[in-house]
Structure formats: structure tokens, C-alpha cells
Amino acid sequence: MDSVQPLAIPKIETSPIPPAIAEEIETFEAEAQRALTGEVSGDLFKPFRLQYGIYGQRQPGVQMVRIKIPFGGISANQLRRVAELADRYATGVGHVTTRQDIQMHFVELKDVPAIMRGLAEVGLTTREACANTVRNVTACHLAGVCQGEVFDVTPYAKTVAYHLLRNPLNQSLPRKFKIAFSGCLHDCALTPIHDIGLLALKKTDGTIGFRMVAGGGLGAAPRLAQVLRGFTPMDELIPSIEAVIKVFDTLGNRKNRNKARMKFVIEKLGFEEFKRRWEAAYTAMGFALPNHKPLTLLQHRDAPPPLIMPTRNGTVNGNGNGSGVHATGRETPFEMWKRTNVVKQKQDGYVTAAVKLFMGDITAEQMLFVADLAERYSNGNLRTTINQNLVIRWIPADMIADLYEDLASRGLADPGAELVEDIIACPGTDTCGLGITSSKGLARALAEVFPAGRVPADLQDVSVKISGCHNSCAQHHISTIGLHGVGKRLGDHVAPHYELHLGGSVDGTPKIGQMTVKLPAKAVPAAISHLIDVYRRDRRPNEGLPAFIARAGKNKLKDELIPYTIVPPYHEDPTFYYDWEGEEEFVLEDLGPGECAGGALEMIENGILEADQELYQAKLLVEKHQYSVSVNKSYRAVLAAAKALLVTEGLDPATDAEVFQEFERRLAPKGIVPSMYRDLGKQVGDLGPKDTTAQSAQEKMTFAKGFVDACRAATEKMGKDLKFGAVPEEPRQAVAAKPAAIQPAPAPAAPAPTGAPVYDLRGVACPLNYVKTKLKLEMMDAGERLEVWLDAGEPIKNVPMSLKNDGHKILLQEALEPEAAHYRVLVEKVEA
């Protein structure tokens, strides 16, 4: 069998590695060798490895190497080196990320030091591209050439990036920290979703500076940044940023990783108190507001090439379309590409062209080719974009047809760059250890819904982003149509699903998209197609999809999409239980203990979804004049919604009668739903005669919909602590009294008693065992202890960690009997 020949790499200009960086790489190499020989454990090596920008993959034994590209600026020479390293040590493919980095996958740990040295020789690094550090500083890819920019933010982004690189200030933060620069109100760099966002401003007297916002972030708890300084003078830029980092470093939650980002610091303190702490930190650093020490900027050489350049055959370019084909009432491929991928610069005679990379991937051979084009048509500089593409700037406008022909010859002339058809997707389950679903597989499936270059004009302001989990690496929260992967257990099988978020944006008034409905992965393309059909059916004149989503509202759109949420049983259609492009049945891999609260929330969410599905069928049955069956569906909808809310009480009733009884006893008196829904059993339990009238069926359905909507509204006010918002407090003696009924249960060969009351939850499954314990602790005072008995397996694995995540102390954890079928946990309540 023929072996794969390595690429022919042109000569790469290199410089000696500075001694300090050479020593840094040698240190990593020594530790990597110790890890490979087993002298140091993987757990100890992991934080060290992350500090150097090296991630583990879901595949054992290989690494992902992340190269930091400040503001997205990379030269042709540097790109050739990346291509060489990707071809030699990785898969021959580079991946441009939503933070303008470039990643290589499937790298063996032994080869990482060689990659680091190769990068260092051309001025690149992986340092602090991962870990609890200041990550890559991003900026708009059009900075310096944008027609609407206030000024070029490039030198400021570069100065901040290199000031913070290897800076002792940010080597061990509570969590990662992200900074972005935008040059105009369009805000291409998405400042509202960053820990620090800096937007270019100019005063009426011509003074330039930045509006500084702080506390943004996506992930499982998305937050938009708030204005910290309306105008930051340039000489105060660095100290202003450092003061924010210092406050975060001091007050960030180092105990609970899930609460460690700066947005949670602000949430806990309140923004005004956070601002006061920031001002104090600024002053303590030896500065005062205002302060005017000069800022020394790092410049980025980006001089334009000559306007008139020879073509390959030595003639001056004309206005041809690059393919020898003239448009005859229909766009040629070149015209389509030029319309979607080329923008005029603010400098006369020049354009910027985007090279669309499908989901950010580019082969080593293509990298070499693009590097050549950047030198042939421009000044040898390129920029990565936060939408996972590459752009070549400073192209003389009359050379664009030749550039298109060259790109097309290597499969790099796809139209639609940075538009709706340019779907953003994270690596998902391809390589990421946290990925749940195949986001890239779904993106390929959606390409049929949004064909490149042929998407109608009414979708021009739309974006589609897909994350393989809730961490939002693809930034699904701020897209018009956002999706993030989850799994959903249905009987003995698990089906891949996506939670659909609608209406997110950062342009104009920033908005986090609303989670609208959970869709099985295989139904997503059909559901999105239907959403677009509904938009075109019901829109107002000149109304775009984002405006339509905002006007129509979550509930209307959810009702339209409910049919697509239904998953057939496995024996009827097993394809729903396979992910896109998956060859084996979908499984949820163990992503770690301590997720009981999330499991409870999912039970609640699934219950409300079941209620919606029952109501949908009730409506269809009324339309088909099957009134008595419709009444039954309305009844089931009420039961499903009531049962969902009972999860907050740690209950999963087995019978309809128990659902009604417990809802009336535990939830109705708390005012969680309007009083008209008291005595549910009496109001909906009578299913009526077989010949139920249309009016009666409609009345039952109206009642059921009102109840389900009330339950949904209650869950939307509920926090992750499973507490309902804006619920009138019960009298102290009714809610907070000590439970007299907790008695030590008889123990089988019980270990030494702890003296604490025993709560026997053997036989109670996750997550209800956690909810029950949580409720019990809420009725106790801080410092009191509770002994909880749990089954082996998932209960003892998850419940203690979840209680610890809530802030309580776990004092003891041991088996109740020699065969370790059951455990006891001693927990001490800590006041929130």
C-alpha cells in the first residue's frame, strides 16, 4: 500500500526562539515525559497541560493543540508553519474557532513540544489558550478597513493581548476570562458576551476611547455584560482592564467551577457594588480615575499592496467574471461569490474577500495555497473570523475575479461566508470530551435548508449556530436560530436532542435567545423548515425573521413546533435513536457526578413538554370531531403538568389520584398557580360521556391549556435551586418547622451512630433522592446535620456531589453493610 507523502512546504522564515520561551517549552517537555512514563498522574498533569493550551480529547491518548491568534491576525508565513505542523503531527486539518484561534486535533503528547517550538519560531504560541487564564483577545476581522468603524482597534487589541500573555496577574484565575474589541456600533466582535468588551467611541472633540462593558458570558447561565465605563481614555485602558481582573481574581468562586465565571461575581455583589470594588482596585494599583499615563501601542504592519498588479499571464486585469461566462439574467458562480463573500473597504480601490471554511475546517494543503494567495494578491496578511472563516484584505478590486478562479480551483470558493448559510458549529462529539451530540453532523444536514448562495433575501439577517452541549462554544444563545445538544431517555433507549433557542442577537439591543422547545436531532431540519414557513405565512410587510420571532413570541412558535418534538418508539423507528452520521445507537456518556439539580430540571421540562404534546393532540382531535378522545388528552395534559411541578417536592406519583392529591396538598396552597386551579381532580377528572359535545371538549381543552401555561410560567420563574420565584411565603410554622417525623430507621448491622436524624432514601432514584434531601435541609437550621441513606451506584455517586455543589458540607460517606449495597452520608447544612 502506498504511503501518504508529506506536503512540499515552501521555505518558512524563522527566528531564534527567545531563551525564556525556549525554557518554557523545555519545562513542558519534561513534564509531558513524566506524564507519559507515569511518574506524574494525569490529574496532576492536566492543569499544567491546559496552561500551555493543550486539551485532552474524548479519544484517549491524543491531544487538541490550540494556537492563540490575537485579534485573528496571522501572516502567510505563520499559516505555512501551521500547515506544516498539522500535516506532520496532526490530521492534516486545522480548525478555526469562534475565538479566532486555530486548533489541531489527534496530536500525540510526545509531539506537542515539537509543535510548540515550530510555532515559537514564527512568533506563535499556545500559551494560555486554555485553562483559567485570559483567553485569546478577539477583534473584528475588518478592523482597519471597515467602512463604518470609529477607528482601527487592531493595535489596542494586540497591545492588551501581549500585555496579558504570561502576565502573573492572570495565571491562575477562578475561571477563564474573555476580552473582545469592536470598532463600530455593529459590534462584530460581540462585546456584550465577554467578561470585558471594548467598543470604539469618539467624543465630539475628537478624543477616542472605549465603552467598557463587563460581566458577559454564555454557557449554561448566559448573561449580557453591563456598562462599567461609558468612556475609557486610551491611557487608562490597561489599568482599567487589570483592575477588573484583580476583582475577579479576588472574589471569584474557586469552590464551585459552575459558579466561577465573573458574571456570577457580579450577580452576587450587584453591579454597583462590583463597580465600587473595581474603582477601589484601580486606586490600590497606584492609579486614580482619571489618570493619563501614555499608552505604548504595539503596531501591526498592514500596508496595502500596489493598486495595479499583473495577472498570471502578465496582462492587467479587466472586469471579467473570472469564469469566461457572462451573466444572462442569472448569477454566475463568480457573481454569487462576489455578492456574498466580498466587501468594499473604506480605502478606495480595495476589497476584502472571505474564504468560507465549512465549520472552520481547512486542510494543510489549502492553508499553503491560501498563504500563497495572500502574498500574490495582497500584503501577505490574513485574519481569522469569529465565524470560523479566513479573510484576505487589501485586494485590489480589479483582481477579485482572478482570486476567485484560484480559490475555486482548490474548493475554497463557496459563497455565503458570514451569512445564514455559513452555519457555525463546534467540534461536538467528533473530538470534544464534553460534547453530547454531533453538532457538525447536524450542520451538514441543515445545509439543505440553507443552501450556500441561494438563501432568499428575507433571511439575510439570520444566523444559525450549533453547540454540541450547553457550554455554548458555538455561541448558540446569541443567534437567531440556536441549537445545543442534549440527550433524552425514552424507556430503555436514549435519543439525541437539541434545545432550540430563538431570537438571540448582539446587533442593536443585545438579547439572549429564548429556549423554545426540545427537538429530536433527526427532526431539526424539518422543524427549522417549518419555522421559516410559519414566518413567511404570518409575517408583516418588510418584517425580518428576528423581528417576527420577537413579535410572535415563544409560546406561539412552540405550539407550531410541538409536532416535531414527538419521538416514535424505538421498535417503530430506531433512526431517531442514532445521531446525525452516527453508526451506532446514541448513548449518553458519563460526564461526571453532581448533576442532580440538572436532572430534576430536566424531569420538570420533560413533563411540561409532555403536557404540550397532549394538548396538541387534543386540538387535532377536536378538529377531527373526536371530542371524547380529545377530552382524555386534555386530562392527560393537566396530569403531566401537575406531575412536573411535583418534582420540586421530591415526588414522582405512580397514580393519577396521587398526582391530584399531592398537588392539592403541597403546591396549590402556595399560590404557585392561580386559585381557579384548585381541586384539579374534580375539575378535570370527569371525562364525560362517550358522545361528548364539541363545546364541552373545547371547554376542557381551554381549561387544560390555561393550567399548563400557568405551570410553565411557574417553572420559568424557578431557579436552578428548584425554588419558585414570587411565591407568597407560607407562615413560618407551616414551612420552616422541624420535621417531627424524622426518626432513625432500623439499620442492618448499622455502623456507629452519628447522632443525626436519619433520612432513609434507599430505593429512591436520582434525581428525586437529591430533591428530597434538599427539601429536608431547607427545614433545618444552619449547622444542623442530617444522615442520609442512599443506594449504591448513581445515588451515592451523584447526591453527595450535588449537595456539595449547593454549598453544604459532607462530613461522612461510608457503606452501611459489608456488601456496600447502601451507603450513608452525613451532611451539615450551610446557610446559603
CA 361 – CA 121 distance, rounded (Å): 24
CB distance 773 to 788 below 8 Å = yes
Q: What separation in angstroms does the CA of 667 have from each of 489, 672, 711?
A: 27, 7, 11
Give me 467's grid cell.
453547540
Contacts of 105 (CB under 8 A, 6+ apart): 57, 62, 64, 65, 90, 91, 93, 95, 427, 431
CA 227 – CA 214 distance, rounded (Å): 6
Looking at this protein, which amino acid is placed at residue 316? Answer: V
CB distance 225 to 213 below 8 Å = yes
Annotation marks residue 432 as catalytic = no
Catalytic residue (choose from 130, 146, 596, 766): 766
How many CB atoms are closer than 10 A to CB 588?
Answer: 12
Question: Where does residue 573 rank: exposed (0-12), middle (13-18), buried (19+ CB within 10 A)?
Answer: exposed
Question: Where does residue 735 rank: exposed (0-12), middle (13-18), buried (19+ CB within 10 A)?
Answer: exposed
| Phi/psi of residue 268, nearest 5 degrees | -75, -45
CA 293 – CA 284 distance, rounded (Å): 16
Helices (H) and strands (E) in the chain, counts: 23, 24
CA 134 – CA 51 distance, rounded (Å): 11
How big is the chain by its Cα radius of gyration, in Å? 29
Smallest CA-to-CA distance from 95 within 388, 468, 439, 412 is with: 388
CA 272 – CA 253 distance, rounded (Å): 19
CB distance 722 to 597 below 8 Å = yes
CA 628 – CA 694 distance, rounded (Å): 9
Assign 3-class secondary structure to 632-681: HHHHHHHHHHHHHHHHHHCCCCCCHHHHHHHHHHHHHHHCCCCHHHCCHH
Ramachandran category for residue 284: left, alpha or beta (phi over 0 → left; psi -120 to 50 → alpha): alpha
Give me 136's grid cell.
485569546
Give me 146's grid cell.
471597515
CA 658 – CA 646 distance, rounded (Å): 11
CB distance 253 to 259 below 8 Å = yes
Sign of the CA dihedral with 13 first, then 17, 21, and 25 last: positive
For the chain, give the number of residues: 832
CA 784 – CA 764 distance, rounded (Å): 23
Tell me how far the alpha carbon of residue 369 is from its chain's centroid.
32
Q: Which residues of 78-109 are buried (b: 16+ CB within 10 A; e: fewer)?
A: bbbbbbbbbbbbbbbbbbbbbbbbbbbbbbeb
* Catalytic annotation, residues: 766
